[in-house]
């Protein structure tokens, strides 16, 4: 799908504006995502468990300061196909690693005797702790921008995992003919229209490709210490956290592919049998 | 259902039942002994495929309704819960969401097959009309269903489409408000759309019953488009067509499986993974692929009311097709001239689909800035959709009636058996030249 | 007209009994194999559609709870919700325990010793699923002639060990799976 001028035009029509009177739409631009690949791609792709574990650590220590993951529970980390799944603990609520990961986090609860709001260590049945209690609070702490929920982020953006990776690793200093408002950062992979961000007198210049994002560059070399000793570069952090986010977007993806492979082989054989049956049956009928 | 029944009760119990409720006789005459032309090709298998898809959509839909919550705050998360926590929920939800696309794919093949072989012509006009009603109900069901996951595209799609009704003079505004149950698409809207989405498939199933009834009165049309004249022309439906349809269904299921298992989101839109937000519109509002041609016709016209009329006119047109076609020959196998226009028409529908997917101002050939004509660039998708929409209407209202009167058809074989049983050299030229594979 | 053409062909009997053509064994095998494969699809797909009604992941996640016994005063019970049902956590007095043990050898409908209904050495803690084994009502604490529970729906009476003593219920109140994590903490489920 092209992402050039807005299909707002369609809305305009729906609102009763005619084409002729419609405003001219400025073009939104962005760089094509980088060419990156993961082990989970394709019909046979599987997640690299260690990578997803590292990715969780990046999310936990960096992203989760601003971004919620509303659809995720700590138990998901230990379920079948999850990064901390242990065949000894089929029930993820029993998994000691998951329990201790959850235990490190304090969640709010209501004391059943007094009705007071209390803090208690999370259990595997708890949702991932959200950094802000509500949307206004999230905006207020982020200069008016809302950090999107990351539960299904790799599915919710055109370009998927490669786009998220490119965005995370693509931050650049703004070109000299451009001036960005405070709290905005230039990223050529972020869709946007920078026409109005050109410095005074530079209005004639072609604006750079990309957009201004409200998120400061989140990753840095050495920002996260990986437990398995993997060197912590920006690229590695981004690569791993995207793998984690892709897993979180559809924790049952591996189950889906596995089931699918069996089903498709079965269907192929079934089709062959039906074809033979059909040919046999129609052998003596001219048609 | 028509003609004489060949059913003979095999046991005392069957005789007893037959004189009280002849359901076994009905089933036998409908799907077992029903005489079916023996020259049906693979294009005819899509009827059975469609019946299966309707069944799959209803069964998976009933299951999803056990877990789905039609509330603006919970609908999005409840769909995600189905995919994450419900046992095999990912499979059932994937089957249902992709099943809609597969259903439409099959219905389009079924309709184009119908156009090519003139199956809508007498005595099958009512059969065709019922099919059009089914298609209309399918569009409604698909629209209501697409709103339910309550993603950004769900919500804003519902906003845009319900706003179309606002184009009606005088009553438009009142109807939209009534439809919404409020001042905008909101919780009451979601709840009633859920209810209607549950209701319509059963109405479809009812009309499908009538559709099959209307099929069994005159019997199937066939690739040569002439009536069955002797027992040699037909075979019993079972086992000949049950097995052939079964094979086609199995192949179709493989295609379906590719989407369900390996490309579950390929036909969807990324924006629908974002929870509906009435305050922010996604960058590109587009319907699902199967409605893009109509969306292109809607946007081709510069005025809202005209656009709405053209879009509904495009659907209404297919209803009157049997009375627009003046040709005495059914099958285009023997109509070489209109056959070309037909293939252009198929292409035209695909072009309209492309137009619907693009923003009207986008350039068709990138980099080439064409001349401005009237209100838009000639190289833009607006103009392409206008030309394509014009051809769409011209095909039905001008080409079809005119060709029937002016075209000289090729010699039509006298019986279904004759073109296939005679030596190829003796075959009518049209049959030999027919481009499609005969199964 | 049809007769002349069709009659000239070698196979004009096709629509009469064509299935009788060919090698019957091979034909049977293919058709039977196809039928079996079709049944396999239906059977294989049936399971996901049945299993989807079983408890989902989020429901299972809440299937076990931990409970702090410190909140329960001697002689009282605390009711907590567990798997959507009430769970009775009763802190029994020595008198109640004595009464329960004394009844061990009476003629019980669902014979069980008091000892079998609590964890070893934890006789004061009685943990029971709080639904009447008759038809699922919630018995009231301390009601009835045996000092245990009384079910208001149909008059079943349970003793201080949760055993059925009178009324229509067939079984004793169910003891759930639980274990002591520490002296004052139990995990149920």
Q: What is the largest CA-CA distance in chain C?
A: 106
In the three-class reduction of DSSP (H, G, I as helix; E, B as strand; rest coil), residue B363 is classed as strand
Tell me the count of B-C CB pairs closer than 8 A.
76
**Closest listed residue to residue B288, CA positions, set B100, B110, B72, B93:** B100
In this predicted structure, what is the pLDDT of residue C22?
47
Partner C contacted by A275 (CB < 8 A): no
Q: What is the mean pLDDT of residues A182-207?
A: 85
**Exposed/middle/buried for B113, CB within 10 Å: 0-12, 13-18, 19+?**
buried
Partner C contacted by A71 (CB < 8 A): no
Question: Catalytic residue at C105?
Answer: no
* Residues paired with residue C78 on neighbouring β-strands, in sequence order: C89
pLDDT-derived band at C16 (thresholds 50, 70, 90) equals very low
Query: B1 or A61: whose pLDDT is higher?
Result: A61
In this predicted structure, what is the pLDDT of residue A276?
94
Q: What is the mean pLDDT of residues B307-330?
A: 95
* pLDDT of residue A84 exceeding 80: yes
Residue A76: count other Cβ atoms within 10 Å of its Cβ: 26
Partner C contacted by B38 (CB < 8 A): yes
Domain membership of residue A141 (yes or no) is no
Q: What is the mean pLDDT of residues A184-199?
A: 89
Q: Domain range spanning residue A101?
A: 84-126
Domain membership of residue A95 (yes or no) is yes
* pLDDT of residue A70 exceeding 90: yes
Which pLDDT tens digit goes with each residue over C108-125? 999 999 999 999 989 999
Instruction: Examine the domain organization and report whether B278 and B375 are in the same domain.
Output: no
Closest chain C C-alpha to B291 CA, distance in angstroms: 30
Domain membership of residue A101 (yes or no) is yes
Exactly one of C12, C118, C134, C154 is catalytic; which is it?
Answer: C154
Domain membership of residue A151 (yes or no) is no
In this predicted structure, what is the pLDDT of residue C189?
79
pLDDT-derived band at A285 (thresholds 50, 70, 90) equals confident
What mean pLDDT, rounded, does chain A reach? Answer: 87
**Exposed/middle/buried for B274, CB within 10 Å: 0-12, 13-18, 19+?**
buried
**Alpha-carbon dihedral angle through residues B152, B154, B156, B159, given to the nearest 10 degrees:** -150
pLDDT-derived band at B36 (thresholds 50, 70, 90) equals very high
Instruction: Examine the domain organization and report whether B83 and B160 are in the same domain.
Output: yes
In this predicted structure, what is the pLDDT of residue C64?
77
* Helical axes B89-117 vs A253-282, angle rounded to 10°: 40
* pLDDT of residue B90 exceeding 80: yes
* pLDDT of residue C102 exceeding 50: yes
**φ/ψ (deg, to 5) at A21:** -85, -5
Q: What is the mean pLDDT of residues B11-31?
A: 93
Interface test with C, best of B93, B232, B248, B414 (most C CBs within 10 A): B232
Partner B contacted by C30 (CB < 8 A): no
Domain membership of residue B29 (yes or no) is no
**DSSP class of residue B151?**
B
Which pLDDT tens digit goes with each residue over B340-398? 999 999 999 999 999 999 988 888 888 788 888 888 888 899 999 999 999 999 999 99
Share of chain A above pLDDT 70, in %: 90
Return the CATH number at B265: 1.20.810.10
Give chain A positions within 8 Å (CB) of C51.
none
Share of chain B above pLDDT 90, in %: 81
Contact B229 C2 (CB under 8 A): yes
* pLDDT of residue B421 exceeding 80: no
In this predicted structure, what is the pLDDT of residue C8?
37
CA C107 from chain centre, in angstroms, equals 28
Give chain C positions within 8 Å (CB) of A284.
11, 14, 18, 21-22
Query: A69 or A205: whose pLDDT is higher?
Result: A69
pLDDT-derived band at B419 (thresholds 50, 70, 90) equals low
Interface test with C, best of B86, B91, B244 (most C CBs within 10 A): B86
- Point out the least confidently predicted range of A15-24, A243-252, B86-95, C85-94: A15-24
Residue with tokens 């070489």: B336
**Closest listed residue to residue A262, CA positions, set B251, C44, B252:** C44
Phi-psi region of B304 (alpha: psi -120 to 50; beta: other; left: phi over 0): alpha
Domain membership of residue B239 (yes or no) is yes
Query: C16 or A219: whose pLDDT is higher?
Result: A219
- Point out the least confidently predicted range of B215-229, B285-299, B418-432: B418-432
Residue with tokens 């490309």: B263
What is the enclosing helix (H) or strand (E) of C164? strand C164-166
What mean pLDDT, rounded, does chain B reach? Answer: 91
Which pLDDT tens digit goes with each residue over A20-47? 233 334 468 899 999 999 999 999 999 9
**φ/ψ (deg, to 5) at C166:** -155, 155
In this predicted structure, what is the pLDDT of residue C29?
87
Look up residue B314 and give its two tokens.
């495009």
Considering only the beta carbons, identify the residue of B66, B231, B232 that sits closest to C53. B66
**Integer angstrom CA distances of residue B79 from A85, B66, B82, B275:** 24, 11, 5, 11
pLDDT-derived band at B3 (thresholds 50, 70, 90) equals low
* pLDDT of residue B407 exceeding 60: yes
The pTM score is 0.88
Q: Domain range spanning residue B122?
A: 40-285
Residue A44: count other Cβ atoms within 10 Å of its Cβ: 11
Contact B39 A287 (CB under 8 A): yes
Instruction: Examine the domain organization and report whether B150 and B234 are in the same domain.
Output: yes
Instruction: Examine the domain organization and report whether B259 and B398 are in the same domain.
Output: no
Tally the domains of chain A.
Answer: 1
Domain membership of residue B133 (yes or no) is yes
CATH topology of domain C58-188: Rieske Iron-sulfur Protein (2.102.10)
pLDDT-derived band at B427 (thresholds 50, 70, 90) equals very low
List CB contacts of A93: < 8 A, sequence separation 6 or more. Answer: A75, A78, A99, A123, A124, A125, C60, C61, C63, C64
In this predicted structure, what is the pLDDT of residue B420?
52
Domain membership of residue B72 (yes or no) is yes
CA torsion sign for C175, C181, C186, C187 is negative
In this predicted structure, what is the pLDDT of residue C15?
41
List CB contacts of A192: < 8 A, sequence separation 6 or more. Answer: A28, A29, A30, A210, A211, A212, A213
Buried b (16+ CB within 10 A) or exposed e, B358-377: bbbbbbbeeeeeeeeeeebb
CA torsion sign for C147, C153, C155, C161 is negative
CA angle A24/A29/A34 to nearest 5° reads 165
Report the distance separating Cα A210 and Cα A89, nearest Å: 47
Instruction: Examine the domain organization and report whether B281 and B304 are in the same domain.
Output: no
Contact A273 C34 (CB under 8 A): yes
Domain membership of residue B213 (yes or no) is yes
Instruction: Examine the domain organization and report whether B309 and B279 are in the same domain.
Output: no
Q: What is the CA radius of gyration of chain B?
A: 24
Domain membership of residue B128 (yes or no) is yes
Give chain A positions within 8 Å (CB) of C31.
277, 280-281
Contact C34 A284 (CB under 8 A): no
Tally the domains of chain B.
Answer: 2
Contact indicator for B198, B61 with CB cutoff of 8 Å: yes
Contact A270 C37 (CB under 8 A): yes
pLDDT-derived band at C26 (thresholds 50, 70, 90) equals low
**Closest listed residue to residue A249, CA positions, set A128, A156, A126, A146:** A156
Instruction: Examine the domain organization and report whether B215 and B340 are in the same domain.
Output: no
Contact indicator for B382, A19 with CB cutoff of 8 Å: yes
C125-129 vs C140-141, strand pairing mode: unpaired
Which of A14-18, A199-203, B71-75 is most confident? B71-75
Q: What is the mean pLDDT of residues A134-141?
A: 93
**Closest listed residue to residue B96, CA positions, set B66, B136, B128, B134:** B66
Residues within 8 A of C (CB atoms), B 218-277 only: 229-236, 239, 243, 246
Instruction: Examine the domain organization and report whether B153 and B210 are in the same domain.
Output: yes
Domain membership of residue B66 (yes or no) is yes
Contact B375 A20 (CB under 8 A): yes
- Which residues in chain C are classed under CATH 2.102.10.10? 58-188
Residue with tokens 């800035």: B369
Contact indicator for A87, A70 with CB cutoff of 8 Å: no
Domain membership of residue A120 (yes or no) is yes
- What is the ipTM, given to two decimal places? 0.89
Query: B91 or A202: whose pLDDT is higher?
Result: B91
In this predicted structure, what is the pLDDT of residue C66?
80
């Amino acid at each position: 799908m092209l992402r050039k001028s807005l299909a707002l035009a369609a809305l305009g029509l729906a609102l009763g504006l005619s084409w002729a009177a419609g405003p001219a739409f400025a073009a939104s631009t962005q760089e094509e995502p980088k060419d990156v690949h993961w082990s989970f791609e394709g019909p046979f792709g599987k997640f690299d468990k260690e990578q997803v574990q590292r990715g969780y650590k990046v999310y936990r220590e960096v992203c989760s300061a601003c971004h919620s993951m509303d659809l995720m529970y700590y138990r998901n980390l230990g379920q079948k196909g999850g990064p901390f799944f242990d065949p000894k603990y089929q029930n993820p609520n029993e998994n000691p690693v998951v329990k201790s990961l959850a235990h490190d986090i304090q969640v709010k609860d209501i004391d059943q005797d007094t009705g007071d709001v209390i803090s208690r260590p999370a259990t595997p049945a708890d949702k991932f702790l959200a950094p802000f209690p509500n949307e206004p609070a999230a905006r207020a702490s982020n200069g008016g921008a809302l950090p999107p929920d990351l539960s299904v982020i790799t599915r919710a953006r055109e370009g998927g995992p490669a786009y998220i990776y490119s965005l995370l690793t693509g931050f650049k200093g703004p070109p000299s003919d451009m001036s960005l408002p405070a709290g905005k950062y230039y990223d050529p992979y972020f869709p946007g229209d920078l026409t109005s961000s050109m410095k005074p007198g530079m209005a004639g210049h072609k604006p750079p490709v990309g957009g201004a994002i409200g998120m400061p560059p989140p990753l840095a070399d050495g920002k996260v210490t990986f437990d398995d000793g993997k060197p912590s570069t920006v690229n590695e952090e981004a690569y791993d956290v995207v793998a984690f986010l892709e897993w979180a977007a559809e924790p049952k993806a591996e189950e889906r592919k596995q089931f699918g492979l069996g089903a498709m082989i079965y269907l192929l054989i079934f089709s062959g049998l039906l074809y033979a049956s059909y040919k046999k049956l129609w052998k003596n009928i001219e048609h | 259902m028509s003609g004489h029944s060949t059913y003979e009760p095999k046991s005392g119990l069957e005789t007893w039942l037959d004189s009280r409720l002849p359901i076994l006789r009905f089933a036998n005459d409908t799907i077992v002994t029903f005489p079916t032309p023996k020259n049906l090709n693979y294009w005819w298998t899509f009827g059975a495929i469609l019946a299966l898809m309707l069944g799959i959509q209803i069964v998976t839909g009933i299951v999803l309704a056990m877990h789905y919550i039609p509330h603006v705050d919970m609908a999005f998360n409840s769909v995600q819960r189905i995919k994450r926590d419900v046992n095999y929920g990912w499979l059932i939800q994937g089957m249902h969401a992709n099943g809609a696309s597969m259903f439409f794919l099959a219905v389009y093949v079924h309709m184009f097959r119908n156009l090519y072989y003139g199956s809508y012509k007498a005595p099958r006009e009512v059969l065709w009309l019922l099919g059009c009603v089914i298609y209309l109900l399918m569009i409604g069901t698909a629209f209501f269903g697409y709103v339910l996951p309550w993603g950004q595209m769900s919500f804003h799609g519902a906003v845009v489409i319900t706003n179309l009704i606002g184009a009606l003079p005088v009553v438009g505004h009142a109807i939209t408000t009534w439809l919404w149950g409020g001042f905008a698409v909101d919780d009451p809207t979601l709840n009633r759309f859920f209810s209607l989405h549950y209701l319509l498939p059963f109405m479809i199933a009812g009309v499908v019953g009538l559709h099959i009834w209307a099929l069994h009165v005159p019997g199937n049309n066939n690739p040569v488009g002439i009536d069955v004249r002797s027992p040699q022309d037909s075979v019993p439906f079972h086992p000949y067509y049950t097995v052939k349809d079964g094979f086609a269904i199995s192949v179709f299921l493989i295609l379906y499986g590719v989407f369900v298992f390996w490309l579950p989101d390929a036909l969807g839109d990324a924006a629908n993974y974002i929870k509906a937000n009435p305050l922010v519109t996604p960058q590109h509002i587009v319907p699902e692929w199967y409605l893009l041609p109509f969306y292109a016709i809607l946007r081709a016209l510069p005025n809202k009311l005209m656009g709405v009329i053209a879009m509904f006119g495009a659907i209404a047109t297919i209803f009157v097709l049997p009375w627009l076609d003046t040709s005495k020959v059914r099958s285009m196998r023997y109509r070489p001239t209109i056959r070309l226009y037909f293939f252009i028409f198929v292409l035209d529908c695909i072009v309209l689909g492309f137009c619907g997917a693009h923003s009207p101002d986008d350039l068709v050939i990138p980099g080439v800035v064409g001349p401005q004509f009237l209100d838009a660039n000639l190289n833009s998708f607006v103009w392409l959709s206008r030309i394509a929409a014009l051809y769409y209407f011209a095909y039905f209202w001008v080409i079809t009636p005119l060709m029937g009167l002016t075209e000289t058809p090729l010699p039509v074989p006298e019986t279904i058996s004759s073109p296939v049983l005679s030596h190829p050299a003796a075959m009518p030229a049209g049959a030999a030249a027919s481009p499609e594979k005969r199964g | 007209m049809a007769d002349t053409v069709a009659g000239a062909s070698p196979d004009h009997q096709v629509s009469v009994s064509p299935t009788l053509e060919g090698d019957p064994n091979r034909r049977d095998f293919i058709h039977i194999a196809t039928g079996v494969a079709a049944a396999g699809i239906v059977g294989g797909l049936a399971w996901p559609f049945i299993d989807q009604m079983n408890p989902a992941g989020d429901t299972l996640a809440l299937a076990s709870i931990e409970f702090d016994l410190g909140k329960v005063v001697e002689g009282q019970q605390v009711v907590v919700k567990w798997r959507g049902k009430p769970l009775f956590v009763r802190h029994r007095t020595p008198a109640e325990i004595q009464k329960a043990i004394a009844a061990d050898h009476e003629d019980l409908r669902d014979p069980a010793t008091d000892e079998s209904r609590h964890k070893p050495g934890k006789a004061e803690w009685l943990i029971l699923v709080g639904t009447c084994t008759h038809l699922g009502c919630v018995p009231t604490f301390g009601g009835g002639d045996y000092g245990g529970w009384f079910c208001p729906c149909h008059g079943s009476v349970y003793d201080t060990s949760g055993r059925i003593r009178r009324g229509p219920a067939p079984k004793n109140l169910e003891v759930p799976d639980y274990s002591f994590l520490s002296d004052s903490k139990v995990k149920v489920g």
